[in-house]
Structure formats: C-alpha cells, structure tokens
Amino acid sequence: MSKFKEMLTKDAGWKLLSVFIAICLWFVVINIENPVEYRVFTANVDIVNISYAEEAGKTITNAQEIENMKISVRLRGKRIVLDKIQQNRSFSAYIDISAIDMDSSPDIVRLPVKIKTGLLASDYVDTEFISPSDIEVMLDDNVSQDFKVVPEFNGVADTGVSITGDTIEPDYVKVYGAQTEVAKVAEVRAIVNLESPHNGQKVTAALGAYDSSGNPVNGVYLSRDSASVTIRVETSRKIPVRVSYTGEPANGCSVGKVTASPDYVAVSGSPDVINDIMYVTLPDVDISGSGADVTKTFEPSAFLPQGAKVADSSSSKITVSVEITGQEEHNVSFDSEDIVITGEPAEGMQPAIEKDSFNIEVTGSGFDESLIRYSVDVTGLAEGEHRVQIGVELPEGLTLTGSAPYATVVVSGAQEANNDDTGGETE
C-alpha cells in the first residue's frame, strides 16, 4: 500500500501537468474535428392540437395550404450534433392551435412557427432564424347542411334509351365543413358508371359535392361516401294517334275530315311496354245532330297502358276535330232584272217590277248562286201598285234563312203600257 501511495505522490507536479496538457489537447482536437457550424434545414409545417379548434366549432380553412408550406431554419451547433439531426431526420416544424383563444380571436390569426430537433438537453443548438417565422391561420365556423342526392350517369346508352335513377338510398346526405365552403355547394351527385344497364339494377355510386358550375368542392366532408342507386331504363318514341266519331250529323250535312293535332304522342317508359304500343286510341267524338264542326280535347295520358307516360309537354293534350260540311251560310244579292213575273193580272192589265236591289241569306251545302231562281206571282192583280213577296227557288241542299223580301209590282192598263213602250206618243 505504501508503494502505491509513493507512486501516486512521486513527481506529482509533472503528473498534474501531463493531465492538464492532455485535456488541452483533447479540447483542441474536439474543436478541430467537431467545430461549431451553421446549417439550414427545411421541413413542412405540422398543425398540432387541431382538435382544439374542432371542439370550439371551428375549422381551419387553409389547413391544406399550411401543411404544404415549407419553412427554412438556420441552426448553429456542433457539427456532430447537426449531423445527428440530419441523419435521424428528427427536425420538424409546427404551429400550435391551442395558442388561439377561440372565444375572442378574429377569423385570421398569425401563429409563430416552432421547431423540434429531437435532441437531448445536452445536445445544444441555437436557432439563428426561421423563415417564415409565423403563419396565417384562417378560421371559420363549422356548419352542416342537408342536400338531396342527384344521380349522374356516365357511359353511353343505346339510341332512344334514357337512364334515370328510380330510387336513391339515402336520398339526402349531410355536407360538413367551413361555412364559406359549404355555401359553395350547389348539389351532391351520385356518379353512376353504366355497364350494360338494365331495369331495376342496383349500383353503388360514389358521392361528391359540386358547385353551381359543376366543379367539385373539395373543402367539405360528406356524411357518407356512397349511395345505392336503382336504375330505371326507359325508351321513348312517337306513337300515332287513332281517332274516330260516332253518330250522324244534322240533316243535309255530311262528315268531312277527322283530324288530330298533334297526330302523335311522345311516349316513354319501359322498353317492354313501349314496344307493344301500336296506336294511342282516343274515344270516339259524338257528332249526333251537329251542323257545324265538332272539336274535343283529350289528355292522352289517360289512355296509355300502365308503365307508359307522356314524355313531351307538346303532346300532353290532343285536339280532335270532325269537319261537318253542308251547312254553310251565304249572303246573296240580286236585283229586279233577275226576277221572273208569273201568272196573269186582271184582264187588260200589264204588270212591271219597279227597279230595286235585294238580299237573302241561304244555308246548306252545294252552294251555286247561278242555280237560284227568283219570281213574283201577279195572278189577278188589279191596276195599281202592289207589294208582292219574291219567290225564291233553291237547289237541293240549300234552305232560305228568314223570309224572302218583297218587290214593288206596278199594274197598269194595256194602252198605258203601250204608251210607255212608245215613249208616251198618241195619234
């Protein structure tokens, strides 16, 4: 023991000097091999404690933009420490949402960027700068709104065949998100991809929110991702209309054209139903006793088979017209020169019709003015001026409307009549 103690104490000054020199050499080596350096690190920004905003009924509208943002940080430290950070990829940047007072904060808040190096307390580094040093956080109220699901069909259907959604389950979904984003949503679509569609087929369709221009609204969330759509396959074509009449028109009348306007019905429905329809047959139009055209309007939907419907508003009503001929009204004008005198006046008397014009109205079919005959009967008329009703003889199919007019007949002696014929001269 005494020898060991002697060894420790022998030349103690030199030994202490050696230790001091060794320590100095170690510091020199360390500073040469592991100097203090500056190094720039980049990283995306993480958002921590985001649930703090959600619990307050808020959402971060620019969260995606923040998470895609890159920040640069310059650190000062020993090379070995900086190498450790780089090798372990332990460097990260973040903003802390819990630093926001949700009750009183404005809609736009700037939060400082903080960093993590993953170092122990003994691994000391200095932060020289952070760029950007703070980040703008945009807050908005969380809202939800119900939207009716509208089917959208992708794919090509056969010519003349239309595809619709018979039923959609669910037919409404909730859209969640920031108030400004939900306000952009115009409709929720169920995107159906068509592959050999058939009637009654059920398909699962992805749901998405779209604005009024048909563009997707990405900043919202739906209460579910898909819906079940039952497909209805419909075909449409124009079906001719078949019309007829019943009964007989008024005496002297006959039936002309029977027409329908429009003369077809645009019908849609299941192909099995539509392909079996040859005509749309409307009820007969009753023309019994009619002396004028008969018109009646029908709604063809009432006369279609089950499973078929009117596809075009232009053919939602059909007007059927039955033409009745033979009862036309005509106004006829004639004068005294057209009237024939019949019968014989009193003995020795000579009749003459005073010049005048007349009008009559006739009704019926087969009108031909040249076949109408006019006459006055002067049988037994004595000398003087007489008002005699004109006899009107009409061809078959025409009748006189009202009474015939009267003509003025002047009856005079034969000698006087002769004087009139010779200019009134006597010998």
User: pLDDT of the chain along its 427 residues, tens only?
Assistant: 566 556 556 666 666 666 666 666 655 555 555 678 888 899 999 999 988 888 888 888 888 899 999 999 998 888 888 888 888 777 889 999 999 988 887 889 999 999 888 776 456 788 888 999 999 998 888 899 999 998 888 765 555 555 666 678 899 999 998 888 899 999 999 888 777 666 677 888 899 999 999 999 988 889 999 998 887 777 788 899 999 999 988 876 788 899 999 999 988 887 778 888 999 999 999 999 887 889 999 999 999 998 888 888 888 899 999 988 766 788 999 999 999 999 999 888 999 999 999 999 988 766 788 999 999 999 999 999 999 999 999 987 778 888 999 999 999 986 554 555 444 443 3
Burial 30-57 (b: 16+ CB within 10 A, else e): eeeeeeeeebebebebebeebeebeebe
CB 86 within 8 Å of CB 77: no
What stretches of 141-267 show up as alpha helix (H) in DSSP? 179-182
Choose among 279, 314, 282: nearest CA to 297. 282
Structure tokens at 90: 């332990």
- pLDDT attached to residue 103: 81
CA-only gyration radius of the chain, Å: 56
Return the residue matching tokens 């009108």: 367
- pLDDT attached to residue 422: 43
Structure tokens at 33: 């091999």
- pLDDT attached to residue 356: 93
- pLDDT attached to residue 24: 60
Side chain identity at 47, as an amino acid letter? I
How many Å is the maximal CA-CA distance in the chain? 213
Structure tokens at 322: 């039955």
- pLDDT attached to residue 297: 95
pTM value > 0.85: no
